[in-house]
Amino acid sequence: MDEFRKLTTQEKALRINLSKAIYGSFAEIGAGQEVAANFFKVGGASGTVAKTISAYDMKFSDAIYGVCERYVCEDRLSGMLDHEYVLLPERLPHRIDTTRFFAFADTVEILNYERTNQGHGWLGLRFQLTPKSEPNECVIHVKMHDNDPLQQQFALGVVGVNMIYGCMFVSEPEELLMSLLDGLSPRRIEIDMFRISGPDFKHVDNRLMALKLVKNGFTKAAMFGPSGNVMQPSDELYKKNVLVLRGRFRPVTHVNVDMLLTSRRHFKHEPDVDRSKIVLVSELTLNDLSPDGKIDERDFLHRADIICSLGQNVLISNYFEHYRLVDYLSRITKGKKIGITMGIYALQKVFEEKTYENLRGGILECFASLFGSNVKLYIYPAIRKDGTLFTLKHFEEELPKHLKSLFRYLMENNKLEDINDANVKNLHIISDNVLAMIRKGEEGWEKFVPHKVEEAIKEHGLFDYPIKETNQSTAA
């Protein structure tokens, strides 16, 4: 066999079955037992499978794993892993010294008979890499795009086998991640959340894994929170009022912070916004991370560190066009208000018709998505070269005549709003200039960024900031 050929699903399952050291249980809810079935079909399953269970009925599921409001969610998955894993060493004490135990679980919603739902599910594996060690854990969320329930079940079984095999035999996290779709394509299954943790994976930064999901086409968007914990966007943003600030954040300046704070003030006063359900999101697009086609992972983590230090959620997306991002968020928020904060020069690009030459409906097709579904844009002003303020009033004056009526329609229907309480004293701050000062070690850049950002840059040497070894020289 060619050593560079990828193993098939059957070959992976068989290798696991033939390993005398790997032994565990399967708990699968909602779509049958597609993952466990692969191990039975290839033979030798008695060497791998201690137990397989499908607590399909809600009452049975609650009795075993505890009561849960939703059955296809990470909380239910965690309950399943907690319950199943501890039973292995408890009931198989004679195998503890020689066995790498694992517990695999999934909770899934397959396409219904009417095909009116989105097939999706949570898959998790708690596993040992060596006997008697503390377990690691890998969790993913998938969306299934096949238009046939049987095909979705088949694809789920493949991902599950890939997950178990990757965790057991693949040492590099990125290689493990890339192997999850072996035998499939993102058109069939999308992975929009990946997390691996435990004593053998302390070196893994799951924010970087979130970036790799988007970079490698596994999904269009991934998300993590202020503490760096990866999130599943549909779970975090479901039926929430979402306010998004798009930017490069290289670095975050007083202007970025003011854009977010002022637009939030406007957003929370909207009559159809529930203040208790507002989620603020700072978004980075792949285009902003890789203008030359290459992504500097270190630079990405620097930006992530900065945004997280300010307590913000981070969304990484491959939605360069604003209307595609809005379309994505609208499907998740289910009609709740969405706010997009942008500078007025970014709005100029939105109104450039050449941007939509590849769309059959041109600018109107784009605007139907961008300004539909309860969306509003909050526009941050700029200072022009002559020192005057550039706002929506001046924007309309500079629009081509044939677009003025479209602009007025949006204004009259409350789709665009000036951020009129912006701190104009900071409008002279240009992030590229601040970045150049930081890299050169020039004095004075600190006054352009929030104090927390300054601290993070100096403490960790972000953006190539030259750290002065003052402590060492003092000690000497």
Question: What is the spatial distance between Cα 40 and Cα 201, in angstroms, rounded to a whole number?
Answer: 30
| Residue at a domain's end among 404, 426, 448 | 426
Average pLDDT over residues 162-175: 95
- 156 with 62, same domain: the answer is yes
- Dump pLDDT digits (tens) for 310-336: 899 999 999 988 999 999 999 999 889
**Residue 93 belongs to domain with CATH number:** 3.90.950.20
The distance in angstroms from the start CA to the end CA of the chain is: 61
Domain count within the chain: 2
Q: What three-state secondary structure class fits 296?
A: coil
Claim to verify: residue 35 and residue 175 sit in the same structural domain = yes
| pLDDT surpasses 80 at 83 | yes
Mean pLDDT of 100-120: 93
Cα 117 from Cα 469, distance rounded (Å): 58
105 strand-pairing partners: 27, 124
State whether 154 and 263 are in the same domain: no
Helix (H) or strand (E) holding 158: helix 149-169
Token pair of 87 as six digits: 């039973």
Residue 30: is its pLDDT beyond 60? Answer: yes
Evaluate if residue 475 carries a pLDDT over 50. no
Helix, strand or coil, per DSSP, at residue 428: coil
Q: What are phi and psi of 466, to 5 degrees?
A: -75, 105
The CA distance from 181 to 12, in Å, is: 13
Whole-angstrom CA distances from 376 to 242, 303, 338, 411 are 11, 27, 6, 10
Confidence at residue 27, expressed as pLDDT on a 0 to 100 scale? 96
Could you give the CA distance from residue 434 to residue 251 in angstroms, rounded to a whole number? 8
Is residue 64 domain-resident? yes
Q: What are phi and psi of 24, to 5 degrees?
A: -170, -165
Is residue 295 within 8 A of residue 211, CB to CB? The reply is: yes
Beta-bridge mates of residue 376: 339
Rounded Cα gap, residues 223 and 40, in angstroms = 36
Asked if the structure places residue 443 within a domain, the reply is no
Give the end of a domain, one of 386, 410, 426: 426
Q: Report the relative pairing of strands 100-109 and 241-246 from DSSP bridges.
A: unpaired
370-393 tens-digit pLDDT: 998 799 999 999 999 888 999 999
Element at 445 (helix H, strand E): none
Q: For residue 251, say if its preceding peptide bond is cis, omega within 30 degrees of 0.
A: yes
What confidence tier does 469 reach under pLDDT thresholds 50, 70, 90? low
Q: How large is the average pLDDT for residues 179-202?
A: 96
Q: Categorize the per-residue pLDDT at 472 as very low, low, confident or very high, splitting at 50, 70 and 90.
A: very low
* One domain for residues 198 and 241: no
Confidence of residue 449 (pLDDT cuts 50, 70, 90): very high
Asked whether residue 276 falls in the same domain as residue 325, the answer is yes
Q: Per-residue confidence at 10, pLDDT binned at 50, 70, 90? A: very high
d(CA 257, CA 265): 13
- Regarding whether 98 and 174 lie in a shared domain, the answer is yes
To the nearest whole percent, how much of the chain has pLDDT over 70?
97
| Strand order across the beta sheet in which 416-418 lies | 230-231, 221-224, 313-317, 278-285, 241-246, 338-343, 375-380, 416-418
Asked whether residue 433 is assigned to any structural domain, the reply reads: no
For residue 467, is it within any domain? no
Sign of CA dihedral 175, 215, 303, 245: negative
3-class DSSP state for residue 103?
strand
State the pLDDT at residue 4: 54
- Tell whether 123 and 66 lie within a shared domain: yes
The CATH code of the domain that includes 311 is 3.40.50
pLDDT at 351 over 50: yes
439 part of a folded domain: no
- Answer whether residue 276 is part of any domain: yes
Q: Do 204 and 175 contact (CB within 8 A), yes or no?
A: no
Residue 353 has pLDDT above 50, yes or no: yes
Mean pLDDT computed over every residue of the chain: 92
Q: Is residue 451 part of a domain?
A: no
Backbone φ, ψ for residue 34 (5° rounding): -65, -35
Same domain, 260 and 178: no
Q: What per-residue confidence (pLDDT) applies to 291?
A: 64
| Segment among 217-226, 275-284, 298-307 with least mean pLDDT | 298-307
Q: What is the pLDDT of residue 114?
A: 87
Over residues 402-417, the pLDDT tens digits come to: 999 999 999 999 999 9
**Residues near 110 by Cβ (< 8 Å), separated by ≥ 6?**
30, 31, 119, 144, 149, 152, 153, 156
In degrees, rounded to 5, the angle at the alpha carbon of residue 275 between the alpha carbons of residues 270 and 279 is 100
The pLDDT of 194-210, averaged and rounded, is 96
Task: Report pTM.
Answer: 0.90
pLDDT of residue 293: 65
Enumerate residues 6+ apart whose C-beta is below 8 A from 106: 27, 28, 29, 30, 31, 35, 77, 121, 122, 123, 124, 156, 160
Residue 231: strand pairing partners: 223
At residue 471, does pLDDT exceed 50? no
Residue 314 in any domain: the answer is yes
β-pair partners for 445: none
pLDDT at 355: 86
Distance CA 293, CA 298 (A): 15
pLDDT band at 473 (very low <50, low <70, confident <90, very high): very low
Q: What is the pLDDT of residue 445?
A: 96
Query: What 3-state class would DSSP assign to 271?
Result: coil
What is the gyration radius of the CA atoms in the chain, in angstroms? 25
* CA distance to 53, 80, 81, 109, 390, per residue, from 63 (Å): 14, 11, 15, 20, 62
Are 367 and 301 contained in the same domain? yes
Domain span at residue 154?
9-204
